[in-house]
Protein backbone atom coordinates (compact mmCIF):
# COMPACT_ATOMS: atom_id res chain seq x y z
CA UNK A 1 0.00 0.00 0.00
CA UNK A 2 1.30 3.46 -0.88
CA UNK A 3 0.67 6.15 1.74
CA UNK A 4 0.67 9.71 0.47
CA UNK A 5 0.52 12.98 2.41
CA UNK A 6 -1.92 15.45 0.89
CA UNK A 7 -1.73 19.24 0.85
CA UNK A 8 -3.72 19.30 4.09
CA UNK A 9 -0.99 17.28 5.80
CA UNK A 10 -3.14 14.18 6.24
CA UNK A 11 -1.72 10.83 5.15
CA UNK A 12 -4.07 8.84 2.94
CA UNK A 13 -3.76 5.59 1.08
CA UNK A 14 -2.94 6.29 -2.55
CA UNK A 15 -3.23 2.82 -3.99
CA UNK A 16 -2.07 -0.76 -3.69
CA UNK A 17 1.37 -2.00 -4.59
CA UNK A 18 1.90 -5.04 -6.81
CA UNK A 19 4.63 -7.64 -6.40
CA UNK A 20 7.06 -5.50 -8.44
CA UNK A 21 6.52 -2.51 -6.14
CA UNK A 22 4.60 -0.55 -8.79
CA UNK A 23 1.68 1.58 -7.66
CA UNK A 24 -1.70 0.25 -8.78
CA UNK A 25 -4.89 2.29 -8.60
CA UNK A 26 -7.69 0.98 -6.44
CA UNK A 27 -10.59 -0.61 -8.35
CA UNK A 28 -13.29 1.84 -9.35
CA UNK A 29 -16.22 1.25 -6.99
CA UNK A 30 -18.15 4.47 -7.24
CA UNK A 31 -17.07 5.47 -3.74
CA UNK A 32 -16.82 9.19 -3.14
CA UNK A 33 -14.08 9.33 -0.50
CA UNK A 34 -10.40 8.49 -0.57
CA UNK A 35 -9.38 5.17 0.96
CA UNK A 36 -8.33 5.43 4.59
CA UNK A 37 -7.54 3.10 7.47
CA UNK A 38 -10.66 1.41 8.83
CA UNK A 39 -10.48 0.30 12.46
CA UNK A 40 -13.05 -2.30 13.46
CA UNK A 41 -13.95 -2.15 17.14
CA UNK A 42 -13.70 0.64 19.74
CA UNK A 43 -12.24 -1.34 22.62
CA UNK A 44 -8.69 -0.91 23.98
CA UNK A 45 -7.06 -2.33 20.82
CA UNK A 46 -9.21 -0.46 18.31
CA UNK A 47 -9.07 2.91 20.07
CA UNK A 48 -5.33 2.54 20.68
CA UNK A 49 -4.88 2.03 16.94
CA UNK A 50 -7.04 5.09 16.24
CA UNK A 51 -5.13 7.11 18.84
CA UNK A 52 -1.75 6.20 17.32
CA UNK A 53 -3.03 6.95 13.82
CA UNK A 54 -4.36 10.31 14.95
CA UNK A 55 -0.99 11.29 16.43
CA UNK A 56 0.57 10.59 13.05
CA UNK A 57 -2.05 12.44 11.02
CA UNK A 58 -3.37 9.31 9.32
CA UNK A 59 -7.02 9.50 8.22
CA UNK A 60 -9.16 6.72 9.72
CA UNK A 61 -12.69 5.64 10.54
CA UNK A 62 -13.58 3.51 13.57
CA UNK A 63 -16.58 1.19 13.28
CA UNK A 64 -18.10 0.00 16.57
CA UNK A 65 -21.11 -2.34 16.57
CA UNK A 66 -22.11 -1.44 20.15
CA UNK A 67 -23.56 1.77 21.54
CA UNK A 68 -20.66 2.27 23.96
CA UNK A 69 -16.88 2.20 23.63
CA UNK A 70 -14.41 0.14 25.64
CA UNK A 71 -15.35 -3.44 24.76
CA UNK A 72 -14.92 -5.60 27.85
CA UNK A 73 -12.99 -2.66 29.38
CA UNK A 74 -16.10 -0.48 29.36
CA UNK A 75 -17.69 1.01 32.45
CA UNK A 76 -21.39 0.18 32.62
CA UNK A 77 -23.59 2.78 34.31
CA UNK A 78 -27.04 2.07 35.74
CA UNK A 79 -28.95 4.62 37.85
CA UNK A 80 -25.70 6.35 38.79
CA UNK A 81 -23.87 3.14 39.76
CA UNK A 82 -20.79 2.17 37.77
CA UNK A 83 -19.66 -1.40 37.12
CA UNK A 84 -16.31 -2.64 35.87
CA UNK A 85 -16.57 -5.83 33.80
CA UNK A 86 -14.13 -8.19 35.49
CA UNK A 87 -11.95 -5.59 37.20
CA UNK A 88 -9.26 -3.77 35.18
CA UNK A 89 -6.12 -2.80 37.02
CA UNK A 90 -3.86 -0.36 35.22
CA UNK A 91 -0.39 -1.80 35.62
CA UNK A 92 1.95 -2.93 32.88
CA UNK A 93 5.50 -4.03 32.14
CA UNK A 94 5.39 -2.12 28.84
CA UNK A 95 6.38 1.55 29.34
CA UNK A 96 5.09 2.64 25.94
CA UNK A 97 1.60 1.44 26.87
CA UNK A 98 1.79 3.16 30.24
CA UNK A 99 2.77 6.39 28.49
CA UNK A 100 -0.46 6.31 26.46
CA UNK A 101 -2.55 5.91 29.61
CA UNK A 102 -0.98 9.05 31.07
CA UNK A 103 -1.37 10.95 27.82
CA UNK A 104 -5.10 10.24 27.77
CA UNK A 105 -5.87 10.82 31.48
CA UNK A 106 -4.14 13.21 33.88
CA UNK A 107 -2.90 12.75 37.45
CA UNK A 108 -6.16 13.89 39.02
CA UNK A 109 -8.15 11.34 37.03
CA UNK A 110 -6.13 8.34 38.25
CA UNK A 111 -6.36 6.83 41.71
CA UNK A 112 -3.56 4.75 43.25
CA UNK A 113 -5.26 1.73 44.77
CA UNK A 114 -3.93 -1.07 46.99
CA UNK A 115 -4.20 -4.55 45.50
CA UNK A 116 -6.08 -6.86 47.84
CA UNK A 117 -7.75 -10.13 46.98
CA UNK A 118 -8.57 -13.28 48.90
CA UNK A 119 -9.89 -16.78 48.38
CA UNK A 120 -13.07 -17.84 50.16
CA UNK A 121 -13.09 -21.54 50.98
CA UNK A 122 -14.97 -23.53 53.60
CA UNK A 123 -16.07 -20.44 55.48
CA UNK A 124 -12.55 -18.94 55.72
CA UNK A 125 -10.55 -16.36 53.82
CA UNK A 126 -7.02 -16.87 52.51
CA UNK A 127 -4.66 -14.30 51.04
CA UNK A 128 -4.19 -14.44 47.29
CA UNK A 129 -1.56 -14.67 45.92
CA UNK A 130 -1.10 -17.44 48.46
CA UNK A 131 1.09 -16.75 51.48
CA UNK A 132 2.40 -19.94 53.01
CA UNK A 133 1.91 -19.30 56.72
CA UNK A 134 -1.45 -17.57 56.19
CA UNK A 135 -2.72 -20.58 54.23
CA UNK A 136 -1.47 -23.17 56.70
CA UNK A 137 -2.81 -21.18 59.66
CA UNK A 138 -6.24 -21.08 58.10
CA UNK A 139 -6.23 -24.77 57.31
CA UNK A 140 -5.35 -25.79 60.88
CA UNK A 141 -2.66 -28.12 62.18
CA UNK A 142 -4.28 -31.42 61.19
CA UNK A 143 -5.18 -30.38 57.63
CA UNK A 144 -1.80 -28.66 57.26
CA UNK A 145 -0.07 -31.92 58.13
CA UNK A 146 -2.17 -33.76 55.54
CA UNK A 147 -1.29 -31.07 52.99
CA UNK A 148 2.40 -31.43 53.86
CA UNK A 149 2.25 -35.17 53.32
CA UNK A 150 0.35 -34.66 50.09
CA UNK A 151 3.06 -32.27 48.92
CA UNK A 152 5.86 -34.69 49.83
CA UNK A 153 4.04 -37.50 48.03
CA UNK A 154 3.79 -35.34 44.92
CA UNK A 155 7.52 -34.67 45.05
CA UNK A 156 8.33 -38.39 45.26
CA UNK A 157 5.55 -39.49 42.90
CA UNK A 158 4.92 -36.58 40.50
CA UNK A 159 1.54 -36.54 38.73
CA UNK A 160 1.60 -38.28 35.38
CA UNK A 161 -0.35 -35.48 33.71
CA UNK A 162 2.21 -32.70 34.17
CA UNK A 163 1.05 -31.08 30.93
CA UNK A 164 -2.32 -30.23 32.46
CA UNK A 165 -3.29 -27.45 34.85
CA UNK A 166 -4.18 -30.09 37.43
CA UNK A 167 -0.87 -31.94 37.19
CA UNK A 168 1.26 -28.79 37.10
CA UNK A 169 -0.44 -27.30 40.15
CA UNK A 170 -0.57 -30.54 42.15
CA UNK A 171 3.15 -31.10 41.58
CA UNK A 172 3.95 -27.74 43.22
CA UNK A 173 1.37 -27.70 45.99
CA UNK A 174 0.25 -31.30 46.42
CA UNK A 175 -3.20 -32.58 45.53
CA UNK A 176 -4.90 -31.46 48.75
CA UNK A 177 -3.90 -27.83 48.36
CA UNK A 178 -4.66 -28.03 44.63
CA UNK A 179 -8.20 -29.17 45.38
CA UNK A 180 -8.60 -26.47 48.04
CA UNK A 181 -7.22 -23.41 46.29
CA UNK A 182 -7.26 -24.00 42.55
CA UNK A 183 -9.60 -26.68 41.23
CA UNK A 184 -13.09 -25.29 41.90
CA UNK A 185 -12.56 -21.74 40.72
CA UNK A 186 -10.67 -22.78 37.60
CA UNK A 187 -13.45 -25.15 36.61
CA UNK A 188 -16.06 -22.46 37.21
CA UNK A 189 -14.24 -20.11 34.84
CA UNK A 190 -13.79 -22.56 31.97
CA UNK A 191 -16.68 -24.97 32.43
CA UNK A 192 -14.57 -28.14 32.05
CA UNK A 193 -12.44 -30.28 34.39
CA UNK A 194 -9.09 -28.76 35.33
CA UNK A 195 -7.43 -31.98 34.16
CA UNK A 196 -8.24 -30.85 30.61
CA UNK A 197 -6.65 -27.40 30.91
CA UNK A 198 -3.16 -26.91 29.57
CA UNK A 199 -0.39 -26.21 32.10
CA UNK A 200 0.78 -23.14 30.13
CA UNK A 201 -1.91 -21.07 31.83
CA UNK A 202 -0.89 -21.98 35.38
CA UNK A 203 2.42 -20.10 35.44
CA UNK A 204 0.69 -16.85 34.51
CA UNK A 205 -2.04 -17.22 37.13
CA UNK A 206 -0.22 -18.83 40.04
CA UNK A 207 3.01 -17.60 41.58
CA UNK A 208 5.65 -20.01 40.28
CA UNK A 209 6.87 -21.49 43.53
CA UNK A 210 5.80 -24.30 45.76
CA UNK A 211 4.12 -23.53 49.04
CA UNK A 212 6.97 -25.14 50.90
CA UNK A 213 9.64 -23.06 49.17
CA UNK A 214 7.80 -20.09 50.59
CA UNK A 215 7.82 -21.67 54.06
CA UNK A 216 11.56 -22.29 53.82
CA UNK A 217 12.15 -18.70 52.78
CA UNK A 218 10.16 -17.39 55.73
CA UNK A 219 11.74 -19.75 58.29
CA UNK A 220 15.31 -19.42 57.02
CA UNK A 221 15.72 -15.72 56.06
CA UNK A 222 19.49 -15.99 56.38
CA UNK A 223 19.67 -18.14 53.26
CA UNK A 224 20.79 -16.26 50.19
CA UNK A 225 17.82 -15.68 47.90
CA UNK A 226 19.07 -16.00 44.33
CA UNK A 227 15.88 -14.85 42.66
CA UNK A 228 14.28 -11.81 44.29
CA UNK A 229 10.89 -10.90 42.93
CA UNK A 230 8.13 -8.52 43.88
CA UNK A 231 4.39 -8.77 43.33
CA UNK A 232 2.15 -5.93 42.21
CA UNK A 233 1.00 -4.41 45.53
CA UNK A 234 -0.86 -1.41 44.08
CA UNK A 235 -2.14 -0.18 40.77
CA UNK A 236 -3.64 2.87 39.12
CA UNK A 237 -7.33 3.06 38.34
CA UNK A 238 -9.43 5.74 36.59
CA UNK A 239 -11.78 7.50 39.02
CA UNK A 240 -14.89 6.48 37.09
CA UNK A 241 -13.72 3.07 35.93
CA UNK A 242 -11.80 1.85 32.88
CA UNK A 243 -14.45 3.10 30.47
CA UNK A 244 -13.35 6.62 31.38
CA UNK A 245 -10.06 5.93 29.59
CA UNK A 246 -11.72 4.81 26.37
CA UNK A 247 -14.42 7.46 26.37
CA UNK A 248 -11.65 10.06 26.61
CA UNK A 249 -9.65 8.29 23.87
CA UNK A 250 -12.72 8.44 21.61
CA UNK A 251 -13.09 12.16 22.26
CA UNK A 252 -9.42 12.78 21.54
CA UNK A 253 -9.34 10.93 18.22
CA UNK A 254 -12.57 12.59 17.10
CA UNK A 255 -11.08 16.01 17.92
CA UNK A 256 -8.22 15.11 15.58
CA UNK A 257 -10.53 14.28 12.68
CA UNK A 258 -10.95 10.52 13.03
CA UNK A 259 -14.56 9.40 12.74
CA UNK A 260 -15.93 7.00 15.38
CA UNK A 261 -19.10 5.45 14.01
CA UNK A 262 -21.20 3.83 16.77
CA UNK A 263 -23.86 1.14 16.22
CA UNK A 264 -22.00 0.30 13.01
CA UNK A 265 -21.59 -3.45 12.59
CA UNK A 266 -19.15 -4.56 9.91
CA UNK A 267 -20.81 -6.89 7.42
CA UNK A 268 -18.15 -7.39 4.74
CA UNK A 269 -14.48 -6.89 3.99
CA UNK A 270 -14.27 -6.59 0.22
CA UNK A 271 -11.03 -7.93 -1.20
CA UNK A 272 -9.35 -8.19 -4.55
CA UNK A 273 -6.11 -9.65 -5.90
CA UNK A 274 -4.03 -7.18 -3.90
CA UNK A 275 -5.88 -7.29 -0.60
CA UNK A 276 -8.80 -5.56 1.09
CA UNK A 277 -10.02 -2.43 -0.68
CA UNK A 278 -13.27 -1.52 1.14
CA UNK A 279 -15.59 -2.54 3.94
CA UNK A 280 -19.36 -2.54 4.35
CA UNK A 281 -21.25 -1.92 7.57
CA UNK A 282 -24.86 -1.62 8.64
CA UNK A 283 -26.09 1.33 10.67
CA UNK A 284 -28.26 -0.13 13.45
CA UNK A 285 -30.33 3.04 13.84
CA UNK A 286 -31.39 3.30 10.20
CA UNK A 287 -30.81 -0.21 8.93
CA UNK A 288 -28.94 1.24 5.97
CA UNK A 289 -25.77 -0.42 4.65
CA UNK A 290 -22.74 1.64 3.67
CA UNK A 291 -19.51 0.79 1.88
CA UNK A 292 -16.35 2.81 2.46
CA UNK A 293 -12.93 2.44 0.81
CA UNK A 294 -10.09 1.14 2.98
CA UNK A 295 -6.33 1.37 2.54
CA UNK A 296 -5.84 -0.93 5.55
CA UNK A 297 -8.13 -2.67 8.04
CA UNK A 298 -7.21 -2.99 11.73
CA UNK A 299 -9.66 -5.49 13.20
CA UNK A 300 -10.40 -6.23 16.86
CA UNK A 301 -13.69 -7.98 16.05
CA UNK A 302 -13.80 -11.74 16.80
CA UNK A 303 -11.38 -13.44 14.44
CA UNK A 304 -13.92 -16.00 13.29
CA UNK A 305 -16.41 -13.25 12.46
CA UNK A 306 -13.75 -11.40 10.47
CA UNK A 307 -13.15 -14.48 8.33
CA UNK A 308 -16.89 -14.99 7.86
CA UNK A 309 -17.17 -11.36 6.63
CA UNK A 310 -14.68 -11.77 3.78
CA UNK A 311 -16.10 -11.02 0.32
CA UNK A 312 -15.48 -12.97 -1.87
CA UNK A 313 -15.91 -15.71 0.68
CA UNK A 314 -12.88 -17.42 2.18
CA UNK A 315 -12.30 -21.05 1.17
CA UNK A 316 -14.41 -23.65 2.96
CA UNK A 317 -11.46 -25.04 4.90
CA UNK A 318 -10.66 -21.57 6.28
CA UNK A 319 -14.30 -21.00 7.16
CA UNK A 320 -14.16 -24.35 8.94
CA UNK A 321 -11.17 -23.18 10.97
CA UNK A 322 -12.98 -19.97 11.88
CA UNK A 323 -16.02 -21.93 13.04
CA UNK A 324 -13.84 -23.85 15.51
CA UNK A 325 -13.00 -20.74 17.54
CA UNK A 326 -15.12 -20.72 20.69
CA UNK A 327 -15.68 -18.32 23.58
CA UNK A 328 -16.64 -18.32 27.25
CA UNK A 329 -19.27 -15.71 28.07
CA UNK A 330 -19.70 -13.66 31.23
CA UNK A 331 -22.35 -11.95 33.31
CA UNK A 332 -22.27 -9.76 36.40
CA UNK A 333 -25.03 -9.48 38.98
CA UNK A 334 -24.44 -6.14 40.74
CA UNK A 335 -26.09 -5.79 44.16
CA UNK A 336 -26.31 -2.51 46.09
CA UNK A 337 -25.67 -2.84 49.84
CA UNK A 338 -24.77 -0.51 52.73
CA UNK A 339 -21.07 0.30 52.80
CA UNK A 340 -20.56 -1.59 56.06
CA UNK A 341 -21.70 -4.78 54.32
CA UNK A 342 -18.84 -4.54 51.85
CA UNK A 343 -15.29 -5.85 52.32
CA UNK A 344 -11.82 -4.33 51.94
CA UNK A 345 -10.79 -6.50 48.98
CA UNK A 346 -10.97 -5.44 45.35
CA UNK A 347 -12.38 -8.91 44.76
CA UNK A 348 -12.81 -12.32 46.39
CA UNK A 349 -12.43 -15.66 44.59
CA UNK A 350 -15.23 -18.00 45.63
CA UNK A 351 -13.90 -21.56 45.72
CA UNK A 352 -16.99 -23.07 47.26
CA UNK A 353 -18.61 -25.65 44.96
CA UNK A 354 -21.92 -25.01 46.74
CA UNK A 355 -22.53 -21.77 44.81
CA UNK A 356 -22.20 -20.87 41.13
CA UNK A 357 -20.69 -17.42 41.60
CA UNK A 358 -16.97 -17.48 40.77
CA UNK A 359 -15.73 -14.09 41.93
CA UNK A 360 -17.17 -11.09 43.77
CA UNK A 361 -16.00 -7.53 43.12
CA UNK A 362 -16.44 -4.68 45.55
CA UNK A 363 -16.70 -1.68 43.25
CA UNK A 364 -16.36 0.72 46.18
CA UNK A 365 -12.89 -0.74 46.89
CA UNK A 366 -11.89 0.03 43.30
CA UNK A 367 -13.03 3.63 43.45
CA UNK A 368 -15.37 5.59 45.73
CA UNK A 369 -16.51 7.44 42.60
CA UNK A 370 -18.08 4.22 41.29
CA UNK A 371 -20.61 4.12 44.15
CA UNK A 372 -22.75 6.47 46.20
CA UNK A 373 -22.20 7.86 49.70
CA UNK A 374 -22.86 5.29 52.39
CA UNK A 375 -23.36 2.50 49.85
CA UNK A 376 -21.28 0.11 47.86
CA UNK A 377 -22.01 -2.27 45.04
CA UNK A 378 -20.92 -5.91 44.93
CA UNK A 379 -20.46 -7.47 41.49
CA UNK A 380 -21.07 -11.24 41.47
CA UNK A 381 -19.39 -12.77 38.42
CA UNK A 382 -20.72 -15.85 36.65
CA UNK A 383 -18.81 -17.56 33.85
CA UNK A 384 -21.21 -19.10 31.34
CA UNK A 385 -21.87 -20.16 27.79
CA UNK A 386 -24.60 -18.36 25.87
CA UNK A 387 -26.61 -21.60 25.77
CA UNK A 388 -26.54 -21.95 29.58
CA UNK A 389 -29.53 -21.52 31.84
CA UNK A 390 -27.95 -18.54 33.59
CA UNK A 391 -27.40 -16.61 30.37
CA UNK A 392 -31.03 -16.94 29.34
CA UNK A 393 -32.47 -16.41 32.84
CA UNK A 394 -34.41 -13.22 33.56
CA UNK A 395 -32.68 -10.33 35.33
CA UNK A 396 -35.01 -10.68 38.31
CA UNK A 397 -34.18 -14.36 38.78
CA UNK A 398 -30.45 -13.65 38.48
CA UNK A 399 -30.69 -10.92 41.12
CA UNK A 400 -32.51 -13.36 43.41
CA UNK A 401 -29.80 -15.97 42.78
CA UNK A 402 -27.11 -13.44 43.64
CA UNK A 403 -28.87 -12.43 46.87
CA UNK A 404 -29.27 -16.05 47.95
CA UNK A 405 -25.65 -16.94 47.16
CA UNK A 406 -24.33 -13.93 49.11
CA UNK A 407 -26.34 -15.17 52.08
CA UNK A 408 -25.27 -18.78 51.56
CA UNK A 409 -21.58 -17.94 51.85
CA UNK A 410 -22.26 -15.60 54.77
CA UNK A 411 -21.24 -12.31 53.17
CA UNK A 412 -24.50 -10.33 53.20
CA UNK A 413 -27.91 -11.04 54.70
CA UNK A 414 -30.76 -10.94 52.11
CA UNK A 415 -32.56 -8.01 53.74
CA UNK A 416 -29.49 -5.81 53.33
CA UNK A 417 -29.57 -5.83 49.52
CA UNK A 418 -31.31 -2.69 48.28
CA UNK A 419 -31.34 -3.19 44.50
CA UNK A 420 -29.71 -5.21 41.74
CA UNK A 421 -28.65 -5.04 38.10
CA UNK A 422 -27.47 -7.57 35.51
CA UNK A 423 -24.83 -7.03 32.82
CA UNK A 424 -24.19 -9.67 30.14
CA UNK A 425 -20.99 -9.71 28.07
CA UNK A 426 -20.79 -12.22 25.19
CA UNK A 427 -17.46 -13.59 23.95
CA UNK A 428 -15.54 -12.35 26.98
CA UNK A 429 -12.89 -15.08 27.02
CA UNK A 430 -11.45 -16.88 23.98
CA UNK A 431 -11.39 -20.62 24.57
CA UNK A 432 -8.35 -22.70 23.67
CA UNK A 433 -9.47 -26.15 22.58
CA UNK A 434 -7.33 -28.88 21.05
CA UNK A 435 -7.88 -27.52 17.52
CA UNK A 436 -7.24 -23.89 18.46
CA UNK A 437 -3.58 -23.59 17.52
CA UNK A 438 -3.87 -25.27 14.14
CA UNK A 439 -6.99 -23.23 13.31
CA UNK A 440 -5.24 -19.97 14.18
CA UNK A 441 -2.14 -20.87 12.18
CA UNK A 442 -4.25 -21.69 9.12
CA UNK A 443 -6.25 -18.47 9.41
CA UNK A 444 -3.12 -16.42 9.94
CA UNK A 445 -1.43 -17.88 6.88
CA UNK A 446 -4.48 -17.29 4.71
CA UNK A 447 -4.86 -13.67 5.88
CA UNK A 448 -1.22 -12.89 5.22
CA UNK A 449 -1.42 -14.35 1.72
CA UNK A 450 -4.81 -13.01 0.63
CA UNK A 451 -5.38 -9.78 2.59
CA UNK A 452 -1.98 -8.61 3.87
CA UNK A 453 -3.38 -5.15 4.64
CA UNK A 454 -5.77 -6.59 7.26
CA UNK A 455 -4.32 -6.63 10.79
CA UNK A 456 -6.07 -8.65 13.54
CA UNK A 457 -5.32 -7.11 16.96
CA UNK A 458 -6.46 -7.46 20.56
CA UNK A 459 -8.08 -10.22 22.57
CA UNK A 460 -10.92 -11.25 20.27
CA UNK A 461 -9.19 -10.03 17.14
CA UNK A 462 -6.36 -12.52 17.64
CA UNK A 463 -8.31 -15.02 19.76
CA UNK A 464 -5.75 -14.70 22.54
CA UNK A 465 -6.50 -14.21 26.22
CA UNK A 466 -4.68 -10.86 26.40
CA UNK A 467 -4.60 -8.33 29.15
CA UNK A 468 -5.70 -4.81 28.25
CA UNK A 469 -2.11 -3.61 27.85
CA UNK A 470 -1.16 -6.54 25.65
CA UNK A 471 -4.13 -5.79 23.38
CA UNK A 472 -2.99 -2.18 23.15
CA UNK A 473 0.53 -3.28 22.24
CA UNK A 474 -0.64 -5.32 19.26
CA UNK A 475 -2.56 -2.28 17.98
CA UNK A 476 0.48 -0.03 18.37
CA UNK A 477 2.61 -2.43 16.35
CA UNK A 478 -0.09 -2.73 13.69
CA UNK A 479 0.02 1.05 13.19
CA UNK A 480 3.80 0.89 12.88
CA UNK A 481 3.36 -1.77 10.20
CA UNK A 482 0.92 0.45 8.30
CA UNK A 483 3.60 3.13 8.30
CA UNK A 484 6.26 0.79 6.96
CA UNK A 485 7.52 -1.43 9.79
CA UNK A 486 7.47 -5.22 9.60
CA UNK A 487 6.49 -6.46 13.04
CA UNK A 488 5.06 -9.94 13.35
CA UNK A 489 2.06 -9.19 15.56
CA UNK A 490 1.57 -12.89 16.28
CA UNK A 491 5.08 -13.06 17.73
CA UNK A 492 4.27 -10.61 20.52
CA UNK A 493 5.16 -12.92 23.36
CA UNK A 494 3.06 -14.03 26.29
CA UNK A 495 4.83 -14.46 29.60
CA UNK A 496 5.67 -17.87 30.96
CA UNK A 497 6.19 -16.09 34.27
CA UNK A 498 3.51 -15.07 36.72
CA UNK A 499 1.91 -11.98 35.21
CA UNK A 500 2.03 -9.94 38.45
CA UNK A 501 5.63 -10.87 39.25
CA UNK A 502 8.55 -8.66 38.34
CA UNK A 503 12.22 -9.36 39.15
CA UNK A 504 13.89 -6.55 41.06
CA UNK A 505 15.66 -4.15 38.73
CA UNK A 506 14.08 -5.67 35.62
CA UNK A 507 13.34 -3.60 32.55
CA UNK A 508 10.87 -4.20 29.79
CA UNK A 509 10.72 -3.49 26.09
CA UNK A 510 7.69 -2.60 24.07
CA UNK A 511 8.51 -5.23 21.52
CA UNK A 512 8.91 -8.01 24.04
CA UNK A 513 5.26 -7.81 25.01
CA UNK A 514 6.26 -8.63 28.55
CA UNK A 515 2.86 -8.20 30.17
CA UNK A 516 0.90 -10.74 28.21
CA UNK A 517 -0.54 -13.96 29.56
CA UNK A 518 -1.66 -17.10 27.91
CA UNK A 519 -5.02 -18.80 28.33
CA UNK A 520 -5.88 -22.36 29.23
CA UNK A 521 -5.87 -25.06 26.59
CA UNK A 522 -9.07 -27.07 26.76
CA UNK A 523 -9.24 -30.52 25.22
CA UNK A 524 -12.49 -30.92 23.32
CA UNK A 525 -14.98 -33.44 24.59
CA UNK A 526 -18.70 -33.98 24.74
CA UNK A 527 -20.22 -32.26 27.77
CA UNK A 528 -23.91 -32.61 28.43
CA UNK A 529 -25.69 -29.31 28.77
CA UNK A 530 -22.82 -27.07 27.70
CA UNK A 531 -20.96 -26.02 24.61
CA UNK A 532 -17.56 -26.91 26.02
CA UNK A 533 -15.29 -28.28 23.34
CA UNK A 534 -18.02 -27.93 20.73
Average pLDDT (381-399) is 96
Confidence at residue 147, expressed as pLDDT on a 0 to 100 scale: 86
Phi, psi of 141 (to 5 degrees): -65, -45
| Gap between the Cα atoms of 375 and 368, Å rounded | 10
| Residue 156, Cβ density class (10 Å: 0-12 exposed, 13-18 middle, ≥19 buried) | exposed
* Mean pLDDT, range 481-498, rounded to an integer: 78
Run of H or E including 378: strand 375-384
Average pLDDT score over the chain: 83
| 332: β partners | 381, 423
Which range among 213-217, 236-240, 251-255 shows the weakest confidence by mean pLDDT? 213-217
pLDDT > 70 fraction of the chain, expressed in percent and rounded: 79
Which is higher by pLDDT, 349 or 515? 349
User: Does the pLDDT of residue 409 top 90, yes or no?
Assistant: yes
Mean pLDDT of 242-269: 97
Confidence bin at 524 (pLDDT 50/70/90):
very low
Q: Report pLDDT for 311.
A: 97
Per-residue model confidence (pLDDT) at position 231: 56
> Would you state the pLDDT for residue 22?
31
Taking a C-beta distance cutoff of 8 angstroms, is the pair 224, 190 a contact? no
- CATH fold of 2-72+239-324+435-492: FAD/NAD(P)-binding domain (3.50.50)
* pLDDT (average), residues 496-501: 52
CA-based R_g, the chain, Å: 24
Give the start-end residues of each E strand in 307-350.
Answer: 310-311, 326-338, 347-350
Positive or negative: CA dihedral 105, 106, 108, 110: positive
Q: Is the pLDDT of residue 380 over 90?
A: yes
Mean pLDDT for the stretch of residues 253-280: 97
β-pair partners for 297? 38, 454
Q: What's the mean pLDDT in 216-228?
A: 45
With a pLDDT cut of 90, the percent of the chain lying above it is 60
pLDDT digits (tens, 9 = 90+) for 149-201: 998 999 899 888 887 889 988 988 889 988 988 899 989 988 888 888 777 66
Location of each CATH 3.50.50.60 domain in the chain: 2-72+239-324+435-492
Cα–Cα distances (Å) from 128 to 134, 141, 325, 378, 520, in that order, read 10, 20, 32, 19, 20
Residue 514 has pLDDT above 70, yes or no: no
Q: How far is CA 78 from the centre of its chain?
A: 23
Split at pLDDT 50, 70, 90, the class of 343 is: very high
pLDDT at 180: 87
pLDDT for residue 205: 58
The per-residue pLDDT for 467 is 84
Length of the chain: 534
What is residue 342's three-state secondary structure? coil
The number of helix segments (H) and strand segments (E) in the chain equals: 18, 25
Q: Looking at per-residue confidence, does 104 or 493 come out higher? A: 104
**pLDDT attached to residue 475:** 97
Report the candidate in 407, 399, 363 with the shortest Cα–Cα distance to residue 382: 399
The pLDDT assigned to 502 comes to: 52
pLDDT digits (tens, 9 = 90+) for 300-314: 999 999 999 999 999
What is the average per-residue pLDDT within 399-422?
A: 96
Write the CB contacts of 273 (distance below 8 Å, at least 6 apart in sequence).
none
In 3D space, the residue among 213, 175, 214 whose CA is nearest the CA of residue 194 turns out to be 175
DSSP characters over 135-203: HHHHH-HHHHHHHHHHHHHHHHS--S-TTBHHHHHHHHH-HHHHIIIIIHHHHHHHSS-GGGBBGGGHH
Q: Is a pLDDT exceeding 90 seen at residue 132?
A: no
Q: pLDDT band for 270, please (50, 70, 90 cuts).
A: very high
Q: How far is CA 483 from the centre of its chain?
A: 27
pLDDT of residue 214: 52
pLDDT of residue 192: 83
Contact partners, residue 415, CB within 8 Å, separation at least 6: none
Residues 239, 105: Cα–Cα separation, whole Å? 10
DSSP H helical ranges for 361-508: 363-366, 389-392, 395-408, 436-450, 458-462, 468-482
Q: Report d(CA 106, CA 122) in Å as an integer.
A: 43
pLDDT value of position 501? 57
Taking residues 129-156, what's their average pLDDT? Answer: 85
Distances from the Cα of 167 to the Cα of 164, 178, 258, angstroms: 5, 9, 50
Amino acid sequence: MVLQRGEDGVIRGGGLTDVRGQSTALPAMGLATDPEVVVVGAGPAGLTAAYELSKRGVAATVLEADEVVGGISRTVERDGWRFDIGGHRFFTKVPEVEAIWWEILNDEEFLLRPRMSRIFYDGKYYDYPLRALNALRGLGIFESCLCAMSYLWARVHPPSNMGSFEGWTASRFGRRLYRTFFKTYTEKVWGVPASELKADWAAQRIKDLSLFKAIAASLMPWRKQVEVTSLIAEFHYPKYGPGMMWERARDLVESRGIKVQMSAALTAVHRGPLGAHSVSYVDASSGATYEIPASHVVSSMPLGALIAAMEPQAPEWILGCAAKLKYRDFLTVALVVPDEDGFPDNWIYVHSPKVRVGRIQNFGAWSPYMVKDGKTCLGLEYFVFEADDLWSASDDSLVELGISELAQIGLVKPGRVESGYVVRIPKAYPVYDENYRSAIESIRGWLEAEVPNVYPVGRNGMHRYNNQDHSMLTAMLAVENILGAHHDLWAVNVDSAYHEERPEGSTSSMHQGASGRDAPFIASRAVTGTRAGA
